[in-house]
Amino acid sequence: MKNIVVVGSQWGDEGKGKIVDWLSEQADVVIRFQGGHNAGHTLVIDGVVYKLRLLPSGIVRKNKISIIGNGVVVDPWSLLEEIDEIKSKGVDVNVENFIISESANLILPFHKEMDEIREDSAGKDKIGTTRRGIGPAYEDKVGRRSIRVMDLRSEKNLDQRLESVLTHHNAIRKGLGKKIFEKKQLKKDLLEIAPKILKFSQPVWLKIDEYKKKKKKILFEGAQGILLDVDHGTYPFVTSSNTVASSAATGTGCGPNSINYVLGITKAYTTRVGEGPFPTELVDDIGKLLGTRGKEFGTVTSRKRRCGWFDGVLVRQTIKISGIDGIALTKLDVLDELSEIKMCVEYDLNGKKLDYLPAAVEDQLKIKPIYRTFPGWKTSTSGIKNIDELPANAKNYIYALEDFIGTNISSISTSPEREDTILIENPFDI
């Protein structure tokens, strides 16, 4: 048995969908363990495009079990909409192949409104959230006032829980001069969809223990990237959950000894969505070229991504923080047209050299990247499936990147198509 955690080693959008899809074909169980419908994966299977937001990638494959863990915050209406959408493409979603943790916390309409209110009032200090209520929902979770899936079982209990959470939110709304949120209609709406959600509800920790005893292969599917982790990312410009590999254990209810291999998905350059520090960002023609060739627009939000050179300092740091055993290098082909390629190997902070990203945001905004420059290859790598067929300069860049970050490259993606991958080692076989 081999259980794998897949995480993004940068700010998200590293191309996890393609890699997770390939791994999910080999897995028996695929589990989402954090985040919400603010992060998406795009899968292309037999010419059909699936854009997933909450559903784990295993759902598009037959004879796989897909699970939403307790660490995920769930917008129930968005989930049901996604289920209907994927069913319309011929994918079956039923109680045999899909499970939601009974302990998962719900995103409700007032969470989304609070997200929007805060972003609109923040002005130049906005975080750049997706405005989908993720942060406010996690706040209610740690504030012990959240509505969980299990709360939908009892009308009396739901009424009490809603009274508690709305007392908190309406006090804030009044202070901001906003209309209070009425409980009656929300309670009615939740009770209406409750049976559709509860039929999938189970104690996920117990199911995982069962799968482990049966020697099932489990794939833990991360969303976003480590640099958006609420503890280890570029705070406060982060998401509201822990995106590191270790949160796969707490976000599903299994011990860390359930994790056998951590795969970090790593883009051959760097992108970021929203606000916040970005040391290697390019606001010139090269940045535009990377964005155009890489089709750098968000799966969920369609927001344009900021683009820059590969930041080896950051990836080396996230590898250590998340215990990454190997990386899947993606979007190498996006660099094909460049005559030279740069990699950040050190920072300069007011004349002082740093080999790590400092924690203070004011320092993160001041640091200047120190680059190592490589000659480009100026020829297409798209579709190459054997590393020996890559241009010499491409191989030199890859080997230098691997040596600097100190972790093996397990695969190299040379196009968005699943089969266009150079496989060096299969994490399930190690």
Task: Tell me the catalytic residues.
Answer: 13, 41
Q: Classify the phi-psi angles of 127: left when phi > 0, otherwise alpha if psi is within -120 to 50, otherwise beta.
A: alpha
Q: What does the CA dihedral 332, 336, 340, 345 come to, rounded to 10 degrees?
A: 0
The SS3 of residue 101 is strand
Whole-number Å distance between alpha carbons of 22 and 33: 19
Q: How many CA atoms lie within 13 A of 124 on its CB side?
A: 0
Whole-number Å distance between alpha carbons of 22 and 246: 22
Q: Strands 261-267, 326-330: parallel, antiparallel or unpaired by DSSP?
A: parallel
Residues 6 or more apart from 273 whose CB is under 8 A from it? 11, 12, 13, 128, 298, 301, 303, 305, 306
Q: How many CA atoms lie within 13 A of 343 on its CB side?
A: 22
Whole-number Å distance between alpha carbons of 299 and 35: 15
| Residue of 319, 351, 97, 99 lying closest to 225 (CA atoms) | 319
Distances from the Cα of 170 to the Cα of 113, 180, 304, 372, angstroms = 12, 5, 34, 53
Residues 6 or more apart from 155 whose CB is under 8 A from it? 187, 191
Please, which residues bridge with residue 272 across strands? 306
Token pair for 68: 């939403």
Whole-number Å distance between alpha carbons of 345 and 356: 10
Task: Give the type of residue at 229.
Answer: D
